[in-house]
Amino acid sequence: MTEVNGVNVHRQMVAAIASKLKVVDLICELVDARCPQTSSSPAVARLILNKQHLLVLNKADLADPGITKAWLVFFKEQGKETVAVDAKSAGGFRELWKILGAQTLELHRSLQMKGRRPRGLRVAVLGIPNTGKSTYLNRLIGRQTMRSGARPGLTRGPQWVHLNDSVSVLDTPGIMSISRVGADGRFKLGAIGSVEIRGSGAEETCERLLAFLKECYPAVVGSVLKIDLASFSLEEIARAKGFLMSSGLPDTQRASDFLLDQFRSGRLGRISLEKPHS
């Protein structure tokens, strides 16, 4: 697909979602708690104008808890209602349901003042690929209804899911214009799996991740990966894990895949890629 066609598809998808949002009361924007700013799409920012907005920091179980708390304070100071959750284990969902309950009561009061019958809250779930939207929705529903997985783009089109008489949710595909993401953004989005990276792109992402870990989380290198900080590299990871090619040289591609899997799964520990004001 050419870049022009890619942009056209992106615009068509955003337009399709925008038409559905006309009847929505609340927009839940899902971002990755490890990099909330980078994983927030400009397209979503335009779509939420003049709508009630809840910012959901998903995958909070993978992020540095101290930094997540700082993000919650930061967004509160900006006037954004925000909640940190872990959709896989339902962490933070008690607070989320309180917010949805309050929004529902406010909707009923507003409809009553207009002489209209009460109805369920209509919620849209928006976000870039692989921020856990389907897992989030499944947790709300309480059953495995939406397809979910580690591969970006599993949601193909906007679709309504009725949770109960009080809430209906519009699930949407991940939306993001990749062409507007700079090098630092590509690194972070590649590391969390929101953009697909292969071959040299994966190794480049991992080289940046290694440099980040050395600077910000040096304990991970020794205690988890058990590699000396001075010699920390993809080659050293390959040797330590026995990832060798037939020639005996270290297989840096396998080392890259291993490092990304360890980071994305949280086996390296709770790591955030960005802080407020950084």
Q: Which domains does the chain have, with CATH numbers?
A: 3-179 (3.40.50.300), 197-265 (no CATH)
Q: From the CB of residue 180, how many other CB atoms can be counted at a distance below 10 Å?
A: 11
- The pairing of beta strand 52-58 with beta strand 81-84: parallel
Lowest-confidence region among 22-36, 64-78, 175-189: 175-189
Closest CA to 171 of 120, 137, 132: 137
- Helices 252-265, 183-192: crossing angle, 10 deg rounding: 70
H or E element at residue 243: none
> Among residues of the chain, what percentage have pLDDT more than 90?
51
C-alpha distances (whole Å) from 263 to each of 120, 213, 256 are 39, 10, 11
pLDDT tens digit sequence for 78-95: 999 999 999 889 899 999
Q: In the prediction, which pLDDT does 152 show?
A: 42
Residue 10 has pLDDT above 50, yes or no: yes
Q: What is the mean pLDDT of residues 116-123?
A: 89
Residue 148 has pLDDT above 50, yes or no: no
Residue 9 has pLDDT above 80, yes or no: no
Q: In the prediction, which pLDDT does 173 show?
A: 66
Q: CA 89 to CA 243: how far, in whole Å?
A: 33
Q: CA 192 to CA 187: how far, in whole Å?
A: 9
C-alpha distances (whole Å) from 85 to each of 34, 68, 92, 107, 134 are 12, 10, 4, 24, 14
Classify residue 132 by burial, with Cβ atoms within 10 Å: 0-12, 13-18, 19+: buried
How is the beta sheet containing 81-84 ordered, strand by strand? 81-84, 52-58, 26-32, 121-127, 167-171, 159-162
Lowest-confidence region among 2-16, 133-147, 168-182: 2-16
The band of 19, judged by pLDDT with boundaries at 50, 70 and 90, is: confident
C-alpha distances (whole Å) from 231 to each of 39, 156, 207, 222 are 31, 44, 13, 11
Residues in the chain, total: 278
Q: CA 236 to CA 11: how far, in whole Å?
A: 44
Q: CA 275 to CA 71: how far, in whole Å?
A: 7
- The pairing of beta strand 121-127 with beta strand 159-162: unpaired
Residue whose entry in the numeric block shows the structure tokens 């779509």: 47
pLDDT tens digit sequence for 198-211: 877 899 999 999 99
Classify residue 176 by burial, with Cβ atoms within 10 Å: 0-12, 13-18, 19+: buried
Q: Are 236 and 223 in contact (CB under 8 A)?
A: no
E strands, 186-263, are none
Q: Are 240 and 250 in contact (CB under 8 A)?
A: no
